[in-house]
Amino acid sequence: MKLILASRSPRRRELLGRMGLEFTVVTPQIDEDAFTAPDPAALVSLLSREKAMAVAGTCPEALVIAADTVVVLDGAVLGKPRDQAEAQEMLAALSGRSHEVYTGVTVCRGGRAVTGAERTEVTFRALTPEEIRRYVATGEPMDKAGAYGIQGLGSLLVEGIRGDYFNVVGLPVCRLGRMLADFGVDCLAAAAGE
């Protein structure tokens, strides 16, 4: 069965590869800003579904996986920073506080689609303005929701998490494994070469 990851994220590509699956990557063509939802879980679920369906429409025989991740602080969604100044503002707001990371994931094939959302709580240690400036100067925050990457230098900012670590990276691997099993894909069997 052909497996497609509908994402341009190198982090999702890496995580899916670690699951022992062979797949191709197709970038979905949707305008993410055109969608709204009543809460973060509904938003990421909707966006992951739209991404999956956009790609599934061009490859109906394939099993398509799509995901979307947002960082939420005090109910406000923090997207990718537009510039270094906005990245510094986001990190200053996250400093010394807890926030939530939501990832929606959709698996679809043919006319069947299954969507779920995962939530993880992340706590930042208190950051000095100089630490924020230096982290932003690395460039790492610029293409990441909430202006940090927990799998990179951003790990130096995170004091703790409650929930799925991989969800914060951008793909809730445990949930995805269960979803794929519903479509007849056994990730452990694939990794074992069975």
Instruction: State yes or no: pLDDT of 130 exceeds 90.
Output: yes
The closest alpha carbon to 122, from 144, 141, 99, 103, belongs to 99
Q: pLDDT exceeding 90 applies to what percent of the chain?
A: 82
Report the C-alpha gap between 12 and 67 in whole angstroms: 8
Q: pLDDT exceeding 70 applies to what percent of the chain?
A: 100
Instruction: Give the residue with greater pLDDT, 176 vs 189.
Output: 176
Q: Are 106 and 48 in contact (CB under 8 A)?
A: yes
Mean predicted lDDT score pLDDT of the chain: 94
Q: How far is CA 188 from CA 14, 86, 92, 133, in A?
A: 17, 42, 41, 42
Q: Give the strand pairing for 24-25 and 3-5.
A: parallel
Report the C-alpha gap between 27 and 10 in whole angstroms: 12
Instruction: State yes or no: pLDDT of 113 exceeds 90.
Output: yes
Residue 73 confidence (pLDDT): 97
Tokens linked to 60: 């109906």
Confidence band (pLDDT; 50, 70, 90) for 30? confident
Residues ≥6 apart with Cβ < 8 Å to 11: 149, 151, 169, 170, 171
State the average pLDDT over residues 127-149. Answer: 96
pTM for the model stands at 0.93
- Domain spans of the chain? 3-191
State the average pLDDT over residues 160-181. Answer: 96
For the domain with range 3-191, which CATH number is right: 3.10.180.10, 3.90.950.10, 3.20.20.70, 3.40.50.150? 3.90.950.10
Residue 6 confidence (pLDDT): 96
Confidence band (pLDDT; 50, 70, 90) for 62? very high
Q: Which amino acid is at 30?
A: I
Strand partners, 99: 122
* 143 belongs to the catalytic site: no
Q: Which amino acid is at 171?
A: L
Report the C-alpha gap between 37 and 163 in whole angstroms: 23
State the average pLDDT over residues 50-75. Answer: 94
State the average pLDDT over residues 187-194. Answer: 84
The closest alpha carbon to 73, from 112, 113, 124, belongs to 124
The closest alpha carbon to 175, from 120, 117, 122, 121, belongs to 117
Residue 178 confidence (pLDDT): 96
From 27-36, 81-90, 118-127, the region with the lowest mean pLDDT: 27-36
Confidence band (pLDDT; 50, 70, 90) for 184? very high
- CB burial of 101-130 (b: ≥16 within 10 Å; e: otherwise) equals bbbbbbbbbeeebbbbbbbbebebeebeee
Check the CA dihedral 147-151-153-159 and report its sign: positive
From 10-19, 30-39, 119-128, the region with the lowest mean pLDDT: 30-39
Given the residues 68, 83, 164, 182, the one annotated as active site:
68
CA angle 187, 194, 116 (to 5 degrees): 15
Instruction: State yes or no: pLDDT of 29 exceeds 90.
Output: no
Question: Strands, DSSP E only, in 1-155?
Answer: 3-5, 24-25, 63-73, 76-78, 98-109, 112-124
